Amino acid sequence: MVYAVSADSLRVSKLLHTGPPGYLGGIPDLRIGIVKAIIITPEKPGTTSGNSITADRWAKILQTLGHAASIATEWTEEDCDVLIALHARRSHASVERFRQAYPKRPLVLALTGTDLYRDLRVNSEGRHSLSLASHVVVLQGAALEELDDVVRSKTCVIYQSAAPPVRRAEPKEDCFEVCVLSHLREVKDPLRAAFASRTLPDESRVCITHAGRALAPEWEQAAKAEERANPRYRWIGEQPHALALQLLARCRLLVLSSLMEGGANAIGEAVVCGVPVLCSDIRGNAGMLDADYPGYFRARDTGQLAQMLRRAETDPDFLARLHKHIHELQTRFAPEQEVASWRRLLTFS
């Protein structure tokens, strides 16, 4: 369940995304007592990985609520009131050590897409982390369907918030620009939009701008080869988060073609920017955008994605339907909603 509070969305947005830690800016009734929290994320803090971005935002939320919060890649027996661990399998060692050291202290486990849709089914360490957690966080509503009744009873849904850039460029006039914000690795199916754009008719003005780091040399080679062969595709590599958000805000569409997601940051960012999404019809995406969203295509289906790109480019009614649904979901990803959810969770009631 997500709990809402009455607060100024813009003020909270500035706190979480640009403001100094611990400054409340006049928002009433947010502090709930000093808690020292350590957030464990498998990825190095400060990078552009989804887990790192999530951990950084959560630390700011806890600081906004008046708590002390730090981020680490593992728990090294530092004293804290609560451990918040991202990823059941990859954070298992930290989860196990913390629980052995502090049998009664709160331990919050946040489940990722690979947890929900792969690891918990086959990996004993991931399941052990789940059994040790006192509280579980999932990032979209459909994730609850993957959990048994016992785990579901200690689980809450916290949608990841986002704020649009303060300054945003107008959409390009010389093309129908579509962005992909995805690191290049197999689970993201990152070149699907590029492949789809190849099949579009000559008169189509669709162009694909892809921001993301190649996580292996072969992916860099594949992206560069696609650029050479496909005049509609441009790979700009890894971008600072702020620049990636500005790219998203100026584009006509975001394509997210992942094969597995626990709750993609990019979807929430697109929604608050008012940018429609064409995304694979996987559970993690449906849990963010709801089952009736009109912008799903079958995972790995190049032809269907190409048809939807062309339709969005040429059919104003279809594009308007996408926009309408996106705008109706904006409060779901508002920063005050995420703050309120963490505030309620940290009462540990």
- Is residue 189 pLDDT above 50, yes or no? yes
Domains 9-161+334-345 and 176-331 share a fold: yes
Average pLDDT over residues 146-159: 96
Q: 53 pLDDT band (50/70/90 cuts)?
A: confident
Rounded Cα gap, residues 187 and 120, in angstroms? 17
Domain at 9-161+334-345: CATH architecture = 3-Layer(aba) Sandwich (3.40)
CATH number of 176-331: 3.40.50.2000
pLDDT tier, 118 (very low <50, low <70, confident <90, very high otherwise): very high
Model pLDDT, residue 29: 37
Residue 136 corresponds to which tokens in the numbers above? 């579980």
Residue 138 Cα distances to 85, 144, 264, angstroms: 12, 8, 12
Query: What does the pLDDT average to over 1-11?
Result: 34
Per-domain boundaries in the chain = 9-161+334-345, 176-331
55-94 pLDDT per residue, tens: 999 999 999 999 999 999 999 999 999 999 999 999 999 9
Closest CA to 12 of 344, 308, 339, 342: 339
Interval 221-264: pLDDT, tens: 999 999 999 999 999 999 999 999 999 999 999 999 999 999 99
Q: Which pair of structure tokens corresponds to residue 313?
A: 């480019």
- How far is CA 294 from its chain centroid? 20
Global pTM value: 0.87
The pLDDT of residue 130: 96
24 has a pLDDT exceeding 90: no
